Chains A and B, each alone.
Chain A
Amino acid sequence: MYGFEALTFNIHGGYLEAIVRGHRAGLLTTADYNNLCQCENLDDIKMHLSATKYGSYLQNEPSPLHTTTIVEKCTLKLVDDYKHMLCQATEPMSTFLEYIRYGHMIDNVVLIVTGTLHERDVQELIEKCHPLGMFDSIATLAVAQNMRELYRLVLVDTPLAPYFSECLTSEDLDDMNIEIMRNTLYKAYLEDFYKFCQKLGGATAEIMSDLLAFEADRRAVNITINSIGTELTREDRKKLYSNFGFLYPYGHEELAICEDIDQVRGVMEKYPPYQAIFSKMSYGESQMLDKAFYEEEVRRLCLAFEQQFHYAVFFAYMRLREQEIRNLMWISECVAQNQKSRIHDSVVYMF
């Protein structure tokens, strides 16, 4: 019943919403980032982080630190927080929280399959996987030779199974195929998540459809840009776009035929939400696009906190935390490699 969530939401969701809002207060602020940017070495970063929520996770790390350790520990904290919330959640929130993981699962599957293709060690690959996207039999992915086997052996047990129905081919795996598989999976995942949120209704549906539409559009733009100059046909390219979003359906038609970045720009500028993003960039430039999209995403995610009694805060919080970890990684890398002038290139401030 839209508009009346306040009556019943707190029965199951109140505690967790309180938790997630409490967690939000722990996100690093602009002041924190400013301080972090002044750090001279990784120990300084550790020292600064010891006053934040990451303190207890980093305190037992011996110096000298590595960037990977910092990122690993921060991710661990994220995973612990996530698991804590998941333990407390009831249906349908637990399903919603599970959905947040699927994206990482897809990435992990792709990572392992690509790695196996290039004959990397499985253990090494598993260490690189995002812990949120882990599932039991992930290591077995290495056994599979083609998509059908991949599906039949391993993925049929995972929540990703339904998404695979669209990309079941007996073709051997190669880089191109895997990339197509990733995008097909992501498309199916986003559509499924979108449908699920619509089913939940209320403020959740409203806010999540906005966030997911943005996500879908961003992927569409990225697919377009990355596929320029490859052998991907227009039809195939169009098949990879998710069937919702601000660009759907006419924007997709136009994107599908783009041949260079300026054409993409021309398409996107017709859509008000993206006009601002593209107007910031000079013609022919695509490096800053990622950051611009991230900034816009963070802005939208922060807005999700303005409303109460909906699940989108969880999605928004997890995304913000991931952005925060990306920021920390970038800052640590810059500090470790003495590139402090470039720190501000990629840090997205929140709040």
Chain B
Amino acid sequence: MDDFLDKLPEMDLMRSEKMTLVQLIIPVESAHRCVTYLGELGLLQFRDLNADKSPFQRTFATQVKRCGEMSRKLRFFKDQIDKAGLRCLPRHEIEPDIELGDLERQLADHEHEVLEMNSNSEKLRLTYNELLEFKIVLQKASGFLVSSNAHAIGDETELHESTYSNNGFIESSSLLEQEMRHEPLNQSGLRFISGIINKDKLLKFERMLFRATRGNMLFNQTPSDEEIMDPSTSEMVEKIVFVVFFSGEQARTKILKICEAFGANCYPVPEDTTKQRQLTREVLSRLSDLEATLDAGTRHRNNALNAVGYSLTKWMTTVRREKAVYDTLNMLNFDVTKKCLVGEGWCPTFAKTQIHEVLQRATFDSNSQVGVIFHVMQAVESPPTYFRTNKLTNAFQEIIDAYGVARYQEANPAVYSVVTYPFLFAVMFGDWGHGLCLLLGALYLLARERKLSTQKLGSFMEMLFGGRYVILLMALFSIYCGLIYNEFFSVPFHIFGGSAYKCRDATCSDAYTVGLVKYRDPYPFGVDPSWRGSRTELPYLNSLKMKMSILLGIAQMNLGLILSFFNARFFGSSLDIRYQFIPQMIFLNSLFGYLSLLIIIKWCTGSQADLYHVMIYMFLSPTEELGENELFWGQRPLQARKIHMERFQGRTYGVLGTSEVDLDVEPDSARGHQEEEFNFSEIFVHQLIHSIEFVLGSVSNTASYLRLWALSLAHSELSTVFYEKVLLLAWGYENILIRLIGVVVFAFATAFILLMMETLSAFLHALRLHWVEFMGKFFHGDGYKFKPFSFALISDDDE
């Protein structure tokens, strides 16, 4: 038996990879190259040997800082390019790798250039904005100022009154008219300030002016029709042109101060129309000049940015890699002579040769006289857990890892989950119509796999995409279970031949009241379609699904127990086998295993026995006659013996708990100083709790598997409701509109409630069954993940 087990072929996923603690002694001159090559290989996890040092006290802190500075520059370029709205595709031709120093110099040059151009263009932009604002003010304000000297001074007060009682300076058009009629400016010592201000500050500005002058002013405003770019944020802002009329010198200083405080730019507008025209002309010509200059500047800048943009992505990865290399180098220690760097790390045992080759290549490439010393060390702490997964198994491994990373080399539940997970899902989601929909979705994801895997997806889509193979398997299993349940959107189909039942007479009037008669062999696969709609449909399906869930549950829990046996065997703990695995097996199987046996016998023989009765009276009066509940010969003595065994095993469990002394000393984790002190009472209590938990747990876990039945029932009932109460009801009307609405409602209900919500709930329940009921039997999950130093992983997550 042992030989047979030992000879089983190795499977990658069954247990995590064997890991080795290795020590590298690298000469300083080849250290950088070595680490770079190791990063390309990505199979070595360095241990931080300088954990007590703060980041800037480490050896290569300056280089890390330089890399940080460079990536800041690169971010700056990226920002600038994005702001300029350029789209730079990286050149496809392969450029030679650049040295870090060169790159640094290049980046500094580029940054200097861009900064200078920015400051220049900013100055220009400022002047341009000023001129533009001036132009706008000239155009708009002149409207208010069209002077007609003929008007009497007396009108002035009238004007004020009328506008204030009007209480709104908003109607600028009507104001304009008024202005044109009464414009007594110069004669009355009335002066004005014109300018332009941001729209959102306008109200406060106006209020402040009113307060400061105690209402002795007239405020006119009109929106500028063009938006002006704010130089600091380079956003377009709406501005408003205003003209304030006032009198007195003190008011003038106040108003100017307020303008300054609100960031309103004031521009003098001459009252004379000819002067105005002249000025406008001047401003316009200067504007066009500036525009040309600005355009040229922008073009120049865009060219420069383009040049940077071509190699930006490449530079970014280079810098990111360099930074990672230096971060890793910082984890290494100097040896006594200061000529070598000493590093320690974990690598999978199979990768030792690869690492060795890579190190040799690095030594050769860097022309170092001394090679890298690479040797295996004795490990004290537990090694990391590393599974080599592929596209399909990765998703399942993730599901398991979400619960806890497996202890080093313990049995990996992900292997079994690949089948059991989608299967349990399908038991709850059994409908081959819905299964087909899921399958289509999964196939769509698979067909576009290549495209989707390169682009960035939303969080929801990414989750779906990551689980595409899980969905595919779930869909396939749902179709299978749906065929067994014979449900297609809750409609049964005669796929595998005719029904085994027929009506009692030709009219078939009593089919749903009295029942049908069986006239030929059972339906060959799955549930007979005639059950559908019959009086006994629910009792029949419930009994079937309930018993089936118990069978599945017992099978899965037994698998879990058997895995705990393999774990104990692998770690060489015979105590675990004798006093934990065997009692647990006896307990579970003599109770619920026996129930499963009874279920199967009942199915096979068609017996009428009441299983509740059998199970309950097995405890209450084990010696009594079973009567009509007897399923097979010799049942009574068997039960009596079983009870005895249960009692016995309960006793062993309780008593032998005391002898399970070194159960908790992890066999592989602590060699040397980590050995915990042996504490009898602690282990005794722990084991006692464990025993009680298992006994109670086996009842509750078995009951927990009934969720398979409950969800499957809920699913089929829900889909029946939607089919009958929505689709069929709507179809009953002749009206095409009602039919259409019915179809739409049915489609939406199917898509959102059955396909999305139900999928999610079945998914979560399957998750729970795996995490709690299955993995609870054997899985420790207290390991830590293998995180190799790899460039491939860095570039992904460092965005």
Q: Interface of A with B (CB < 8 Å)? A: 35, 38-40, 43-44, 47-48, 50-51, 59-63, 122, 136-137, 139-143, 152-154
Q: Is B51 an interface residue (CB 8 A)?
A: no
What residues on B are CB-neighbors of A43 within 8 Å?
65
Taking a contact as CB atoms under 8 Å apart, the answer to whether B211 and A153 are in contact is yes
Known A-B contacts: A38-B56, A47-B64, A143-B257. Give 14 more (CB < 8 A): A44-B61, A47-B56, A50-B68, A61-B72, A62-B69, A62-B72, A122-B260, A137-B208, A137-B261, A139-B263, A140-B257, A140-B258, A140-B261, A143-B254
Residue of B with least CB distance to A139: B261
Q: Is B212 an interface residue (CB 8 A)?
A: yes
Q: Is B448 an interface residue (CB 8 A)?
A: no
Can you report 7 residue pairs joining A to B where beta carbons are below 8 Å apart?
A47-B56, A47-B64, A48-B55, A60-B76, A62-B72, A140-B208, A140-B258
Taking a contact as CB atoms under 8 Å apart, the answer to whether B57 and A38 are in contact is yes
How distant is the Cα of A35 from the Cα of B53 in the complex, in angstroms?
9
Q: Is B75 an interface residue (CB 8 A)?
A: yes
How distant is the Cα of A136 from the Cα of B61 in the complex, in angstroms?
44
Taking a contact as CB atoms under 8 Å apart, the answer to whether A47 and B55 are in contact is yes
Q: A140-B261, A143-B261 are in contact. Are A48 and B212 (CB under 8 A)?
A: no
How distant is the Cα of A152 from the Cα of B208 in the complex, in angstroms?
10
Taking a contact as CB atoms under 8 Å apart, the answer to whether B208 and A51 are in contact is no
What residues on B are CB-neighbors of A51 within 8 Å?
55
Q: Is B262 an interface residue (CB 8 A)?
A: yes
Our pick among B54, B72, B76, B201 for the contact of A48 (Cβ within 8 Å) is B54
What residues on A are CB-neighbors of B254 within 8 Å?
143
Q: Is B204 an interface residue (CB 8 A)?
A: yes
What residues on A are CB-neighbors of B262 within 8 Å?
137, 139-140
Contact-residue bracket for chain B: 20 to 34
Interface string of B28-72 (1 = CB under 8 A from A): 000000000000000000000000001111000100110011001
Give the top 3 A-B pairs by smallest Cβ distance, nearest first: A139-B261, A35-B54, A44-B56
How far, in Å, is A182 (CB) from chain B's closest CB? 21
Taking a contact as CB atoms under 8 Å apart, the answer to whether A47 and B261 are in contact is no
Residue of B with least CB distance to A152: B211
Our pick among B55, B68, B261 for the contact of A122 (Cβ within 8 Å) is B261
For chain B, residues 247 to 265, give those with C-beta under 8 angstroms from any C-beta of chain A: 254, 257-258, 260-263
What residues on B are CB-neighbors of A59 within 8 Å?
68, 72, 75
How distant is the Cα of A136 from the Cα of B262 in the complex, in angstroms?
9
Taking a contact as CB atoms under 8 Å apart, the answer to whether A47 and B61 are in contact is yes
How distant is the Cα of A44 from the Cα of B68 in the complex, in angstroms?
12
Q: A139-B262, A140-B262, A143-B258 are in contact. Are A38 and B211 (CB under 8 A)?
A: no
Residue of B with least CB distance to A145: B254
What residues on A are CB-neighbors of B54 within 8 Å?
35, 38, 48
Our pick among A60, A63, A143, A154 for the contact of B75 (Cβ within 8 Å) is A60
* Residue of B73, B261, B262 with highest tally of chain A CB at under 10 A: B261
How far, in Å, is B214 (CB) from chain A's closest CB? 10
How distant is the Cα of A176 from the Cα of B61 in the complex, in angstroms?
51
Residue of B with least CB distance to A31: B54
How far, in Å, is A284 (CB) from chain B's closest CB? 40
Q: A35-B54, A47-B64, A143-B257 are in contact. Are A60 and B72 (CB under 8 A)?
A: yes
What residues on A are CB-neighbors of B204 within 8 Å?
136-137
Q: Interface of B with A (CB < 8 Å)? A: 54-57, 61, 64-65, 68-69, 72-73, 75-76, 201, 204, 208, 211-212, 254, 257-258, 260-263
Taking a contact as CB atoms under 8 Å apart, the answer to whether A39 and B75 are in contact is no
Taking a contact as CB atoms under 8 Å apart, the answer to whether A47 and B68 are in contact is yes
How distant is the Cα of A40 from the Cα of B68 in the complex, in angstroms?
17
Taking a contact as CB atoms under 8 Å apart, the answer to whether A48 and B208 are in contact is no
How far, in Å, is B246 (CB) from chain A's closest CB? 14
Taking a contact as CB atoms under 8 Å apart, the answer to whether B56 and A48 are in contact is yes
How distant is the Cα of A154 from the Cα of B212 in the complex, in angstroms?
9
How distant is the Cα of A60 from the Cα of B73 in the complex, in angstroms?
8
How far, in Å, is A61 (CB) from chain B's closest CB? 8
Residue of A with least CB distance to B64: A47
How distant is the Cα of A152 from the Cα of B254 in the complex, in angstroms?
14
Residue of B with least CB distance to A136: B204
What residues on B are CB-neighbors of A38 within 8 Å?
54, 56-57
How far, in Å, is A112 (CB) from chain B's closest CB? 10
How far, in Å, is B369 (CB) from chain A's closest CB? 35
What residues on A are CB-neighbors of B61 within 8 Å?
44, 47
What residues on A are CB-neighbors of B261 within 8 Å?
122, 137, 139-143
* Residue of A47, A50, A152, A154 with highest tally of chain B CB at under 10 A: A47
* Residue of A39, A43, A47, A140 with highest tally of chain B CB at under 10 A: A140
How distant is the Cα of A61 from the Cα of B263 in the complex, in angstroms?
27
Residue of B with least CB distance to A35: B54
How far, in Å, is A35 (CB) from chain B's closest CB? 4
Residue of B with least CB distance to A41: B56
Our pick among A50, A122, A143 for the contact of B212 (Cβ within 8 Å) is A143
What residues on A are CB-neighbors of B212 within 8 Å?
143, 153
How far, in Å, is A129 (CB) from chain B's closest CB? 13
What residues on B are CB-neighbors of A154 within 8 Å?
208
What residues on A are CB-neighbors of B65 within 8 Å?
43, 47
What residues on B are CB-neighbors of A140 within 8 Å?
208, 257-258, 261-262
Taking a contact as CB atoms under 8 Å apart, the answer to whether B68 and A39 are in contact is no
How distant is the Cα of A61 from the Cα of B54 in the complex, in angstroms?
21
Taking a contact as CB atoms under 8 Å apart, the answer to whether B56 and A39 are in contact is yes
How distant is the Cα of A153 from the Cα of B208 in the complex, in angstroms?
7
How distant is the Cα of A180 from the Cα of B61 in the complex, in angstroms?
51
Taking a contact as CB atoms under 8 Å apart, the answer to whether A40 and B56 are in contact is yes
How distant is the Cα of A35 from the Cα of B61 in the complex, in angstroms?
14
Residue of B with least CB distance to A156: B211
What residues on B are CB-neighbors of A35 within 8 Å?
54
What residues on A are CB-neighbors of B69 within 8 Å?
62-63
Residue of B with least CB distance to A32: B54
How far, in Å, is A153 (CB) from chain B's closest CB? 5
How far, in Å, is A276 (CB) from chain B's closest CB? 33
How far, in Å, is A57 (CB) from chain B's closest CB? 13
What residues on B are CB-neighbors of A141 within 8 Å?
261
How far, in Å, is B112 (CB) from chain A's closest CB? 11
How distant is the Cα of A246 from the Cα of B262 in the complex, in angstroms?
44
How distant is the Cα of A141 from the Cα of B257 in the complex, in angstroms?
10
Residue of B with least CB distance to A143: B257
How distant is the Cα of A142 from the Cα of B65 in the complex, in angstroms?
44
How distant is the Cα of A50 from the Cα of B69 in the complex, in angstroms?
12
Residue of A with least CB distance to B263: A139
Residue of B with least CB distance to A141: B261
Residue of B with least CB distance to A121: B260
What residues on B are CB-neighbors of A139 within 8 Å?
260-263
* Residue of A50, A51, A139, A143 with highest tally of chain B CB at under 10 A: A143
How distant is the Cα of A51 from the Cα of B61 in the complex, in angstroms?
14
How far, in Å, is A88 (CB) from chain B's closest CB? 22
Residue of B with least CB distance to A45: B56
What residues on A are CB-neighbors of B73 within 8 Å?
62
How distant is the Cα of A60 from the Cα of B111 in the complex, in angstroms?
13
What residues on A are CB-neighbors of B201 within 8 Å?
136
What residues on A are CB-neighbors of B76 within 8 Å?
60
Residue of A with least CB distance to B62: A43
How far, in Å, is A138 (CB) from chain B's closest CB? 8
How far, in Å, is B690 (CB) from chain A's closest CB? 35
How distant is the Cα of A258 from the Cα of B639 in the complex, in angstroms?
96
How distant is the Cα of A143 from the Cα of B261 in the complex, in angstroms?
9
How far, in Å, is B210 (CB) from chain A's closest CB? 10
How distant is the Cα of A322 from the Cα of B65 in the complex, in angstroms?
28
How far, in Å, is B629 (CB) from chain A's closest CB? 54
How far, in Å, is A122 (CB) from chain B's closest CB? 6
How distant is the Cα of A44 from the Cα of B54 in the complex, in angstroms?
10
What residues on A are CB-neighbors of B263 within 8 Å?
139
What residues on B are CB-neighbors of A122 within 8 Å?
260-261
How distant is the Cα of A48 from the Cα of B261 in the complex, in angstroms?
39
* Residue of A61, A63, A137 with highest tally of chain B CB at under 10 A: A137
How distant is the Cα of A35 from the Cα of B76 in the complex, in angstroms?
29
Residue of A with least CB distance to B260: A122
How distant is the Cα of A140 from the Cα of B258 in the complex, in angstroms?
6
How far, in Å, is B765 (CB) from chain A's closest CB? 29
